[in-house]
Chain A
Amino acid sequence: MSVPRYWRNEVPRYRLQGEECSQCGAKYFPTRPVCKCGSTDFKPYKLAERGEVVTWTTISSAPTGFEKYVPYVVALIELEDGCKVLSQVVDIAPDAVEAGLKVEAVFRKVKEDGKEGILQYGYKFRPVVE
């Protein structure tokens, strides 16, 4: 990811922040320019930080920049507010992940742009710690 693109997406990725349609209340993460109701009027919306795993897959052949993490889990997570996000699930062995696993958002390093480039951070999820 280029530095400007990373920078533009910092707040959504850092704070798990999307947008809510001012007309119909539909929530979007990532955001989109036009709502399904046709409105283009949005306000910031902070997503819930807890949810549960709906489906998941274990990645063993990773895209460039993610090789060192294999095997790792990418899951579709339904948050407590009904929003769905796709995220890496960490701090758990891939074979221990199951549907309904309660997870919470954490802030982690996502990718390193080599030894000299920027460090890219963002949300991931882990089993809830209580």
Chain B
Amino acid sequence: MKTGRQVGIIGYGAYVPMYRLKASEINRVWGGFGAPVEEKSVVALDEDTITISVEAAKQAVKRANIDPSEIGAVYVGTESKPYAVKPSGTIVAEVIGATPSVSTADYEFACKAGTEAMQTCIGLVGSGMHKYAMAIGADTAQGRPQDALEYTAACGGAAFIFGERSAETIAYLEASYSFVTDTPDFWRRSKEMYPRHGNRFTGAPAYFKHITGAGKALLEETGYKPEDFKWAVFHQPNAKFPINAAKIMGFSMDQIEPGLVSPRIGNTYAGSTPVGLAATLDVAEPDDKIFVVSYGSGSGSDAFIFTVQDAILEKREGPKMETFIERKEYVDYATYLKNRGQIIK
């Protein structure tokens, strides 16, 4: 898919809360042996998807150096909305000063809600309807105690502001693609606290089918080959899946290395591909091409091709993803439950 007028990222921001829970701590409590990631990020008591979104959004506005009242849309992709009814985007938009001439909504598509919001913003700016539009992917993901997902369900997010391509653009979009089928690999019913998943069903027919479906279609459509890209980001539900996806698609470890943050912070769900892209932009140089493919259960993938421009060099001041990943304090399992509001008094 291509836009009517060229669109690009003019500012981005990312955030990861400072607390970490080690896989070994989960094993200590539940007697398990798993370690799909080394450790995962955990929110402070006073953090949620909205505060994570605000932190990323404020950084994006600062880097873009724009008047926030010109942002015409703020969309938050998440599966951990603090309110069941009341859009997270209303609060984010109010904090950054985008209100009242703005449209907001929360997007839901498991781990690809953030990139779904990106596709929408790209369309709105590409059509000329808005000057700027902001897409956020953020989560404080839920994992049932003693479930396989408890090791990886993590917290974090990233925000991207899109605008018409100009010299101010840090990375412009060449093309994007979306690939969706009805695949019940993971779900959470209304009013249930934890999601359910189809165990092994989450691999081949779900994650890999959709990642490669979207990725290969976008390569075919644009005529690019894996070696044309400096960097690649694949949705990272654990440490292993994105590495295997890269291999299947013909990408190397070097290409995915900067964006592969799940071993150190876990799966930030709707924030997962967005924080991978942010971490990649943190190290990218002008003219680098970045290949991005998200995955969300249910199921679907969004694929994007970005080319970095010179403006990146002036527009990534402030803390990087690496800064937030390295800023950490370990918590024990009881503190983890407390911070997530799971201890009932």
* A-to-B contact residues, CB < 8 Å: 10-11, 14-15, 68-69, 90-91, 106-110, 119, 121, 124, 129-130
Q: How far is the CA of A106 from the CA of B51 in the complex (A)?
A: 8
Taking a contact as CB atoms under 8 Å apart, the answer to whether B44 and A91 are in contact is yes
Q: When the two chains form the complex, which single residue of B47, B94, B323 contacts A14, counting CB atoms closer than 8 Å?
A: B94
- Contact between B319 and A106, CB atoms less than 8 A apart: no
| B323 and A130 contact, CB distance less than 8 A | yes
CB-CB under 8 A from B45, the residues of chain A are 68-69
Q: Which of A15, A119, A124 contacts B95 (CB 8 A)?
A: A15
Q: Are A91 and B18 in contact (CB under 8 A)?
A: yes
Residue from the list B46, B91, B323 in contact with A129, Cβ < 8 A? B323
B236: shortest Cβ distance to chain A, in Å?
23
- Report if B302 contacts A (CB, 8 A): no
**A-B CB pair tally, cutoff 8 Å:** 48
Contact of A106 with B94 at beta-carbon distance under 8 Å, contacts A68-B45, A124-B46, A130-B323 already known: no
Q: Interface code B85-98, partner A: CB below 8 Å = 1, 0 otherwise?
A: 00000010011010
A14 touches B319 (CB 8 A): no
Given known A11-B94, A119-B82, contact A108–B323 (CB-CB < 8 A)? no
Candidates B83, B94, B324; contact of A119 at CB < 8 Å: B83
Q: Which of A10, A107, A129, A130 has the most CB of B within 10 A?
A: A107
- In the complex, the chain B residue whose C-beta lies closest to that of A124 is B46
CB A53 to nearest CB in B, in angstroms, measures 18
Give the distance in Å from the alpha carbon of A64 to the alpha carbon of B236 in the complex: 41
Q: Which residues of B contact A68 (CB under 8 A)?
A: 45, 338
Identify the closest chain A residue to B339 (Cβ).
A68
Contact assessment for B323 and A90 in the assembled complex, using a CB-CB cutoff below 8 Å:
no
Interface check B48, CB cutoff 8 A: yes
Whether B324 lies near A109 (C-beta < 8 A) is no
Residue on B nearest A46 in the bound complex, by CB: B97
* B54 at interface by CB-CB < 8 Å: yes
B55 in contact (CB, < 8 A): yes
0/1 per residue, B56-77, Cβ < 8 Å to A? Answer: 0010000000000000000000
**Contact call B46/A69, Cβ cutoff below 8 A:** yes
Contact, CB under 8 Å: B50 / A121 = yes
- How far apart sit A119 and B95, CA to CA, in the bound complex (Å)? 15
- B330–chain A nearest beta-carbon distance, Å: 13
Q: Which residues of B contact A90 (CB under 8 A)?
A: 44, 46
- A108 contacts B91, CB within 8 Å? no
B95 touches A130 (CB 8 A): no
CB contacts (< 8 Å) of A69 on chain B: these are: 45-46
B28 within 8 A of A: no
Interface residues of B in 188-246 (CB under 8 A from A): none
A10 touches B94 (CB 8 A): yes
Q: Which 7 A-B pairs have the closest CB atoms?
A: A108-B46, A107-B54, A14-B95, A109-B46, A129-B319, A108-B51, A107-B51
Closest to A112 in B: B341
The answer to whether B319 touches A109 (Cβ under 8 A) is no
Asked if residues A106 and B55 are in contact (CB atoms below 8 Å), the reply is yes
Which A residues touch B18, using CB under 8 A? 91
In the bound assembly, the distance between CA atoms of A110 and B50 in angstroms comes to: 12
Nearest A residue to B50, CB-CB: A121
Partner of B46, one of A10, A14, A15, A110: A110
Task: Please indicate the chain B residues that have their CB under 8 angstroms from the CB of A129 in the complex.
Answer: 319, 323-324, 327
Which residues on the A side are within 8 Å of B58 (C-beta)? 107
Q: What are the residues of chain B within 8 A of A14 when measuring CB–CB?
A: 91, 94-95
User: 27 A–B contact pairs at CB < 8 A?
Assistant: A11-B94, A14-B94, A14-B95, A15-B97, A68-B45, A68-B338, A69-B45, A69-B46, A91-B44, A106-B51, A106-B55, A107-B51, A107-B95, A108-B46, A109-B46, A109-B47, A119-B48, A119-B82, A121-B50, A121-B51, A121-B91, A124-B46, A129-B319, A129-B324, A130-B318, A130-B319, A130-B323
Whole-angstrom CA separation of A106 from B44 in the bound complex: 12
12 additional contacts, CB 8 Å, given A108-B47, A119-B83?
Answer: A14-B91, A15-B95, A69-B45, A91-B18, A107-B95, A108-B44, A108-B51, A109-B46, A110-B46, A119-B50, A129-B319, A130-B323
CB closest residue in chain B, given A11: B94
